[in-house]
Chains A and B, each alone.
Chain A
Amino acid sequence: MDRKIVISAQNLKKHYFISKGLFSFLQKREKNNIITVLNGINLEIDKGEILGIIGRNGSGKSTLLKVLSGVTSPSGGKAIINGKIVSAIEVAGGFNPDLNALENIRLLGRIWGVSTKEIHKLESDIINFSRLKEFIYLPVKKFSTGMVGRLAASIIIYIKADIYLFDEVLNGSDQLFKRQLHNKILNLQSNGSTILFATHNATDVLALCNRVILIDSGKIIFNGNAFKGIIQYRKLIQADLSKLILSQPIVNINNVKSNNISFNHIKMISTGECHQLSLTLLAAPGFYSQGTVHIIINNAFDIPVGHTSFFMEKIPEKCNLSCNFPLTLLTDGIYTISLAASLIPEKWMFFPRILEFEIKTNIKQQNDFIPGISLTQAKWNISC
């Protein structure tokens, strides 16, 4: 099968000039009043790909999509686009807040070059897909953020095109719509459309994309498999993230009386295959009769992947707890630990992300960096 490239970008650049003051036009375009947003992007996208674009806020994701969709011209470089492009950039773009949803569907459809006849056919589909049937005669300005996003994404997805650009369309949408849109995007892909999906939500990338590019300060620093890309992204922000771990001082609340219970001296020791977590529990006397202490292990995307609980029939004023747990099931990566306690009389206490640790194994098969639990006990069969 021959390869068909739908988007090819060569050395795309984009600068912004900042001007200040009354006589700004006299300013020279020097280095200190130039912001480089895209700094030489080279990219080739095949037909039928779902490409995820990840990166931090302000790294140039949206600008890249804006340049590719033609909204703004690049300052340098060139891009060749083979096919009709539609884009949902910064979600609510293009809606007239005074018009109602139905009028906006018609208007946006026309702007994207859909004929009136076709729009009439698509209207009911779009309304059903966005689940906004009760609200179609309401001005869009009265919509919530999630509803606006839903409407925008639904319109774009029903317009026939070769290339779809989505920029943070799922911000503020609920789980149900997320799933709906994911399915629809996969559907479009199987019909031969190409999808570019910019987001900083790891779950969207992992649920959809077969390739990911990671952009940082205007450059592509990773291009490849989505799982690896996510890990790279995580590594990029790791240094800053580690600083934000809620370390002991926050848990170590001296005033036990008002808080009734607290965890102190939390420590983690790794000994080969086993990890030991130890902590001191302080409780106000006579408050709680019994309770359970939970240790929750979250993966790099703050999703719980494992937990262990310990039931205590009587809660003493002060005690030392320690827990040994094997972590052979987890794959390489960075994990965080949260502590929780459910107490009687009824009270739920939760201390999120108090510790961070990294697992490094030497198992060979794991060079694809697929996150989650590795099922070492699974048995494979091959028959030809």
Chain B
Amino acid sequence: MIVIIDSSKNQSIAAYLKKLWCYRNLILIFAYRNIQGKIAQTRLGIFIILLQAIILTLVFGFFISRFITFLVSYPYLLFAVTGMMAWYIFSYIATFSGTSIMQNRQIASKIYFPRIILPFSYGLSVLLDFTGWLIVLTALLIYYGIMPSYNFWAFFLFLIIDVITGLAVGLWIALLSIKNRDVALFAPLIIGIGMFFTPVFYPVKVLPEYLADILYFNPLACVVEGFRWSLFNSPFDIRFLWGFLIILLLFITSVFFFVKKDGNMADNI
């Protein structure tokens, strides 16, 4: 095995992606470590992650939905849970992958591996949290006696879009906060505000026309509406795919810049 160490200017994206393929096992290992690190020193262990979804649903179902409800063609709790689920997955990935380089600087500044693996690993470890939501969702579907629609297959397609959205935002946060931490500190705030611009708790139709038009460019709106369309066959406006295009662009550019920055990353974290 011959390795040539060269200055970062001369490294190509293709070579990096090739290396990433060689190290692909590491994504799994880091994802496992993320989960292990999260449940370290807890008594409930893995159940604590599942409990989060259950508690959030119960609190929403018993308290909040008594005061705020919107009329939809299926139970409002299901509407809100699918929204929260999409939002949770996105914000989990965006927040954690955004700070992943910083959190793992101990390892990233001492051992060589393609560092893009660190943010990517959160896209995989989110699947455990997703399982928690899936259990809640299944339980609610059974409780209300609703069969998922024929579009069910698309559910996982939108899940992938959800993950990519989280990763794109997370990678950009990570990129912008390698040297200066300002962005990393503001990111949770901005992500939090973003929830109000996404139809998590309210249906799009309650918005005035001009506001709804803006929503088409929100990739999360695409995911949320996509989830509902695939499960309950609620109407899905094809214009929501604009958001998907935007996030695809963001994702590709973030990977590109991340690769370019990787060589000297260890100096700044």
Contacts and interface: CB of A to CB of B under 8 A. Distances in A.
A107 B37 contact: no
A92 B106 contact: yes
Interface residues of A, number: 38
Contact of B3 (A70, A87, A96, A139): A70
B2 A81 contact: yes
B264 interface: yes
Interface stretch (B5-13, B223-231, B239-247): B5-13
A321 interface: no
Contacts of B5: 67-68, 70, 73-74, 78-81
The B interface is mostly helix, strand or loop, or mixed, namely mixed
A345 B265 CA distance: 63
A16 B41 contact: no
The residue in B25, B36, B107, B267 that gathers the most chain A C-beta atoms within 10 A of its C-beta is B267
A70 B6 contact: no
Contact of B4 (A72, A80, A83): A80
A110 B36 CA distance: 15
Interface string B206-217: 000000000000
Nearest to B110: A93
Contacts of B59: none
Nearest to B111: A94
Contacts of B109: 71, 93
A268 interface: no
Residue among A19, A72, A103, A139 having the largest count of chain B Cβ atoms under 10 Å: A72
Contacts of A92: 106
A73 B7 contact: yes
A139 B40 CA distance: 9
B4 A78 contact: yes
Nearest to A72: B266
B132 interface: no
Contact of A98 (B8, B41, B110, B179): B41
Nearest to A83: B1
A333 to B, nearest CB: 37
B3 to A, nearest CB: 4
A105 to B, nearest CB: 13
Interface string B250-269: 00000000000001111100
A66 interface: yes
Given A73-B8, A79-B5, A94-B107, A99 B40 contact: yes
Contacts of A69: 111-112
A16 B25 CA distance: 32
A99 B111 CA distance: 18
A135 B50 CA distance: 31
B2 A98 contact: no
A209 to B, nearest CB: 23
B29 A107 contact: yes
A117 to B, nearest CB: 13
Please indicate which of the listed interface residues A83, A90, A94, A95 has the most CB atoms of chain B within 10 Å of its own CB. Answer: A94
A71 B266 contact: yes
Contacts of A110: 25-26, 29
B86 to A, nearest CB: 30
B263 A99 contact: no
Interface string A54-70: 00000000000011111
Nearest to A76: B7
Interface string B23-55: 001100100010011001100000000000000
Interface string B93-121: 00000000000001101111100000000
B111 A111 contact: yes
A87 to B, nearest CB: 7
B263 A73 contact: yes
A74 B7 contact: yes
Interface in A91-116: 92-96, 98-99, 103, 107, 110-112
Contacts of B106: 92-95
A137 to B, nearest CB: 12
A93 B112 CA distance: 11
Contacts of B2: 80-82
Contacts of A66: 266
Interface of B: 1-8, 11, 25-26, 29, 33, 36-37, 40-41, 106-107, 109-113, 179, 263-267
Given A71-B112, A93-B111, A107-B33, 8 more contacts: A19-B179, A68-B5, A72-B265, A72-B267, A74-B7, A75-B7, A99-B40, A110-B25
12 contacts: A71-B111, A73-B263, A79-B5, A80-B5, A81-B4, A87-B111, A93-B107, A94-B107, A95-B106, A98-B37, A111-B29, A111-B113
Please name the 6 residue pairs, one residue from A and one from B, whose CB atoms are nearest each other, closest first.
Answer: A93-B110, A73-B263, A70-B112, A73-B8, A98-B40, A79-B5
